[in-house]
């Protein structure tokens, strides 16, 4: 047995709890919060001083009454996934475990982890569902090339009036080819190489692209944490992800009286993604959040927005967010969506690994 006070001593219970990647609350026999760890502060966006001393009922409200009743039981033992929870004005979904402490009757340990929408499918299941469209896209591109070539030949022999039609054919073929290229990217299995990236530089590059043509009267707010370390990802792919999210936020905000897009970065703890192709979990402590004050996504589509061909835009193709999700996943990251009806805000959050963290592995 190793002496706790000696060199190489085992970490104390407090040290172990503090470093857990999931949120932990310790409740006494009156359901009062007695201890919280750093991951709980990050998950719920509040400090220990605010949470400790409150009853669980005053601190959190569960969307499922049965879950709330089970947690209140002194000898509760529970595991539940995707439970809706409200903390203050923030709504989220979490995975919950409850364990009673036999040595202290009535005391319970609660753990929470974020069950974001971006993890609805495993890598293998999602990958196989996207390879079908990619194969179909490959087969379509060959006849499209023939159609475009035929249109070009006809254009050489046609008069001015007919050239308008041949040009239309060529333009439509090009548009379909671009759509197919995006479908093929969705089905691609080999991710792009990753390297350390300055997150804030990538965000500003994306903003310049989105707002270069016209800002359309949309206010842009930045709430950056300048102390963040580099993230591990592919720079071009990350910029494209941000362009898509920022452009969507800008378009959605236009429906507001005072259209505003807010970009926020911060360090969080407690978020871990099990990456099947790596065979190990990856910590995701860096968050970039894109928020708009538009009307939000149709609730009927909210749980499916990262799936191919799902869109709320009249002329949308439904591939933008599906491709964003694929690219983020290729960088061993995660993307989630949340609507805060009370504040009238829509949040998209991208969580990424730290570069230096991955180098140690």
159 and 209 part of one domain: no
Boundary of a domain, candidates 90, 115, 140: 115
pLDDT bucket at 311, cuts 50 / 70 / 90:
low
Residue 2 scores a pLDDT above 50: no
The residue-averaged pLDDT of 257-278 equals 82
Q: How far apart are CA 299 and CA 20, in angstroms?
A: 34
Q: Is residue 265 part of a domain?
A: yes
- 309 is in which domain, residue-wise? 195-359
- What are the pLDDT digits (tens) for 15-37? 777 777 778 889 999 999 999 88
Contact of 271 with 286, CB cutoff 8 Å: no
Amino acid 139: pLDDT: 57
Q: Is residue 1 part of a domain?
A: no
Mean pLDDT, rounded, of the chain: 79
Number of domains in the chain: 3
Q: How far apart are CA 14 and CA 46, in angstroms?
A: 20
pLDDT above 70 coverage of the chain, percent: 77
Amino acid 188: pLDDT: 59
Boundary of a domain, candidates 155, 187, 219: 187
Amino acid 200: pLDDT: 96
Contact of 272 with 283, CB cutoff 8 Å: yes
Residue 290 scores a pLDDT above 60: yes
Q: How far apart are CA 4 and CA 318, in angstroms?
A: 57
Listed ranges 208-212, 248-252, 308-312, 321-325; the one with the highest mean pLDDT: 248-252
225 and 334 part of one domain: yes
Q: How far apart are CA 335 and CA 317, in angstroms?
A: 20
Amino acid 250: pLDDT: 93
Q: Is residue 2 part of a domain?
A: no
Q: How far apart are CA 208 and CA 4, in angstroms?
A: 54
60 and 160 part of one domain: no
pLDDT bucket at 204, cuts 50 / 70 / 90:
very high
Q: Is residue 156 part of a domain?
A: yes
Parallel, antiparallel or unpaired: strands 272-275 and 286-292: unpaired
Q: Does 9 or 291 have the greater pLDDT score? A: 291
Q: Is residue 4 part of a domain?
A: no
202 and 312 part of one domain: yes
154 and 240 part of one domain: no
Contact of 358 with 337, CB cutoff 8 Å: no
Residue 4 scores a pLDDT above 50: no
pLDDT bucket at 119, cuts 50 / 70 / 90:
very low
Residue 347 scores a pLDDT above 50: yes
Q: Is residue 5 part of a domain?
A: no
288 and 352 part of one domain: yes
206 and 292 part of one domain: yes
Q: How far apart are CA 164 and CA 154, in angstroms?
A: 11
Boundary of a domain, candidates 187, 203, 220: 187
Q: Is residue 71 part of a domain?
A: yes
Amino acid 245: pLDDT: 95
Q: What is the CATH number of the domain that holds 156?
A: 1.10.287
Q: Is residue 281 part of a domain?
A: yes
């Amino acid at each position: 047995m190793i002496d706790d006070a000696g060199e190489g001593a085992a970490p104390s219970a407090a040290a172990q709890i503090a470093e857990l990647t999931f949120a932990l609350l310790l409740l006494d026999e009156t359901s009062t919060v007695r201890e919280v760890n750093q991951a709980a502060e990050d998950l719920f966006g509040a400090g220990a001083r605010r949470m400790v001393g409150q009853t669980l009922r005053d601190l959190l409200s569960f969307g499922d009454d049965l879950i709330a009743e089970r947690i209140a039981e002194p000898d509760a033992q529970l595991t539940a996934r995707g439970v809706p929870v409200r903390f203050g004005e923030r709504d989220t979904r979490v995975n919950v475990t409850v364990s009673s402490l036999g040595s202290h009757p009535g005391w319970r340990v609660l753990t929470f982890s974020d069950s974001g929408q971006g993890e609805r499918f495993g890598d293998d299941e999602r990958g196989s569902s996207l390879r079908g469209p990619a194969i179909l896209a490959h087969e379509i591109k060959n006849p499209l090339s023939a159609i475009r070539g035929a249109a070009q030949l006809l254009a050489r022999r046609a008069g001015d009036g007919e050239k308008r039609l041949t040009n239309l054919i060529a333009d439509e073929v090009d548009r379909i080819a671009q759509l197919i290229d995006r479908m093929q990217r969705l089905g691609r299995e080999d991710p792009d190489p990753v390297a350390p990236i300055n997150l804030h530089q990538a965000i500003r590059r994306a903003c310049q692209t989105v707002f270069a043509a016209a800002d359309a009267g949309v206010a842009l707010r930045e709430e950056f944490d300048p102390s963040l370390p580099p993230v591990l990802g592919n720079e071009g792919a990350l910029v494209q992800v941000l362009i898509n999210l920022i452009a969507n936020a800008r378009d959605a905000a236009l429906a507001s009286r005072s259209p505003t897009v807010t970009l926020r970065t911060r360090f969080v703890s407690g978020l871990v993604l099990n990456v099947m192709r790596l065979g190990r979990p990856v910590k995701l402590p860096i968050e970039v959040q894109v928020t708009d004050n538009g009307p939000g996504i149709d609730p009927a589509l909210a749980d499916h927005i990262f799936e191919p061909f799902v869109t709320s835009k009249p002329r949308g193709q439904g591939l933008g967010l599906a491709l964003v999700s694929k690219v983020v996943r290729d960088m061993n990251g995660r993307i989630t969506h949340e609507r805060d009806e009370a504040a009238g805000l829509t949040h998209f959050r991208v969580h990424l690994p730290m570069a230096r963290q991955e180098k140690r592995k």
